[in-house]
Chain A
């Protein structure tokens, strides 16, 4: 059978499960699924299928197992590491139609959702009970809970509340070979190995989450947002360290540099950030009303002491939202400055922030490229982004070279290559810089426990050549 005959046969089989209109095969239809939130890659899948119900999803995965086809789960496709891309023989399994909130147990602060449920929709539904879902990626109006689980997504408020790992009680997973398994336990404690913890952040390589039981968080009684502006990046970074060291755990502590501020202020998301500031800090405290103002005053005092020109304090919802809007839409705003954008993600120890930011600035100047920093400063989670125009000769190479240097600086400071966007395709080359061959091989083998034939999101996360056993077997056959 030729490739196209196999695809035609598979498409027919899948249509039998999901109905005619839920399987896409034409290139014009597949175009949308050739990239994710990171525009630097484009990969063509063989076809795409969109199950409409849980049972259809299970049947689809079983049909793919029978046909021995590789597949890639896809939520909203907002991922920033090329994780949801499928190539060649691989089939995209789109989950966006599985978007029902199955139940909310307000008393126990739990909700069960389908994997395609949009993060912000869950929070909206929980709000009716005075609750919300705490992990809030900046893409929360689009990204899905399934995608969040796969990436162990974070967000501005993860500084205080923790990441996806800390907010999932249980999962039902369809394993690549078609078996269903429940990981975790929403009705009590979990016993045995922490398979739930292992699945979270597995980037679609261990199977597909069919439903997710999340923990909801009580809405805070009061929230205060502060905007402090600084004339040097270094002063802003020192203020971050000082706030963390004070013992206050802000709900969020975000930094934007001048390039980002100007991009935001020139866009429709203008938030009133001072465009001449070298950096602004967006800090938020929340929780019980009593005592919150004490924390606000401490943060204000520390910022002023470290050289903030002004500290704006927003208590009223409208103003707070405006301050946040600029931050949450910063990537979008950067997209306006130049046609191409590299979004980067790395983490460094918090005390190293001033030094690392200075080095990033220096790397940008040396390569003659513009780097915009907008990031979760409280966690030391950097997002140095490069806006460039690939039509100009040599610029793309310079941008990538600068990125490599930035990553090397972060790693040698004791940091890591990704804090929340995942490895996907984009960071495969960096993995051997942070993990030994033995550790990479162990990761390969754990993946094979869940996915023995490596059909679920193949060739992502761990470089194939790091997998001793797999490589030996395949190498011998070839």
Chain B
């Protein structure tokens, strides 16, 4: 939410630094934007200025044989994907949201998608960053090689910090080779709790090494046209012999149907404008229970779950989000508001004392990088 929209589209790192220094002098806060596809994620950001870094785009360094790519932060995900695809490579991240989203925003928000099952989240893909801090300093953290333990790992601190520690201007990612075969299959899941839990266990122990395993509720399955009721989507990659054997292993569990590989793009972009998105997670063995509680509370919502990671993601109409968060039904797991208005989810109970120390560390880290609190103030709630 921009109070006074003084907009600047920075095209160089120097401009970003000047803008930050100027804002600091005048004690004005900056709202950082990439392609502005996601902006404040529904949260209240108090800022006098809007700084777009989408002009800061393009590839800086790409040697396919190294399987690493360095791009400016305003480069879109689809641009990176297209370039890598020419070399039969990919950034195996494919986060939820528009493909016109930028690299910088993806890293800042720690966004991920169904591929997290096999390849992890941005923290597992980012090798190094250049960042302009709230002091106007330009930092080069991490590096361009796939293994690196030189110095303290500031790359991990900036990843997922929602721009509150610095403005990412450049990033280096690890890429992978595109598999020879990349196929996706749908299988129906029974809603009876016992049967469902048995099916989930069978999938986890099956002789498969999937890229993604996502369970969709009836509404989402229908929307994507892959089923009429609860459905599991499995993405398999590798050489053809391996994929064939995995399909066979899957079909021993239930009838499977092949789906179009395009399904993942529609899935990534299925969120309606203005929806609230909340992720709940527990250890994967509790997924069945977590799923049923979420589905029950989120009537009318689109719900899906990363089966191997125990994460249930609910996309719900903004007017209805209270039904999901009225009580802490997910304990001892986690609930994270990915997108939506300030929904209080503060922790309580025996862990509170420990959490308090942690909040103190987070606040002091914020003080190191943005002592005047001018970068995206409020976007992470009470920092930490």
Do the beta carbons of A431 and B368 come within 8 Å of each other?
no
Closest to A179 in B: B357
Contact with A along B126-152 (1 / 0, CB 8 A): 000000010001111101111111111
Closest to A181 in B: B357
Would B153 and A187 count as touching, CB distance under 8 A? Answer: no
**Minimum Cβ distance to chain A for residue B129 (Å):** 11
Question: A163 touching B238 by the CB < 8 A rule?
Answer: no
B223 within 8 A of A: no
Q: In the complex, A439→B152 CA distance in Å?
A: 10
The main secondary structure of chain B at its interface with chain A is mixed
B99 at the interface (CB under 8 A from A): no
User: Is A442 a contact partner of B284 (Cβ separation < 8 A)?
Assistant: no
A186 to B120, CA, bound (A): 15
List A contacts of B124 (CB < 8 A): 162, 165-166
CB nearest neighbor in A for B64: A245
A421 to B207: give the CA distance in the assembly, Å: 36
Q: Chain A nearest CB: distance from B254 CB in Å?
A: 20
Quick one: which of A154-190 are within 8 Å of B by CB? 154, 158, 162-163, 165-166, 175, 179-183, 185-190
Given contacts A241-B65, A349-B66, contact A198 B383 (CB under 8 A): no
Tell me which residues from 422 to 442 in chain A have a Cβ below 8 Å from any Cβ of chain B.
422-423, 427, 430-431, 434-436, 438-440, 442
Contacts of A423 in B (CB 8 A): 149-151
Q: How far is the CB of B281 from chain A (nearest CB, A)?
A: 4
> Contacts A185-B334, A187-B282 hold; do A350 and B67 have CB atoms under 8 A apart?
yes
Contact B137 A192 (CB under 8 A): no
Q: Is A244 a contact of B156 with CB atoms below 8 Å?
A: no
Known contacts A187-B333, A439-B139, A439-B140, A195 near B146 by CB under 8 Å: no
| In the complex, chain B residues 164-223 whose Cβ is within 8 Å of any chain A Cβ | 165, 176-180, 207-209
Contact A108 B285, CB 8 Å, known A195-B358, A436-B139, A449-B368 = yes
Across-interface contacts of A221 in B (CB, < 8 A): 207
Is B380 interfacial (CB-CB < 8 Å)? yes
Q: Which residues of A contact B88 (CB under 8 A)?
A: 247
Q: What are 28 residue pairs bridging A and B, where the CB atoms are less than 8 Å apart in the complex?
A: A105-B283, A107-B285, A108-B283, A152-B153, A162-B124, A166-B124, A188-B283, A188-B311, A190-B334, A193-B165, A194-B123, A196-B156, A197-B156, A197-B157, A198-B154, A287-B209, A288-B207, A289-B207, A290-B242, A348-B145, A381-B147, A414-B144, A416-B150, A418-B150, A423-B151, A435-B140, A438-B139, A449-B361
Known: A246-B177, A434-B151, A461-B151. 17 other contacts (CB 8 A): A108-B310, A152-B153, A182-B354, A189-B281, A202-B152, A247-B178, A288-B246, A291-B238, A292-B242, A349-B145, A376-B147, A415-B145, A423-B149, A439-B139, A442-B368, A447-B152, A450-B361
B residues neighboring A (CB under 8 Å): 63-68, 88, 120, 123-124, 133, 137-141, 143-157, 159-161, 165, 176-180, 207-209, 238-246, 279-285, 310-311, 330, 332-336, 351, 354-355, 357-359, 361-362, 364-365, 368-369, 380, 383-384
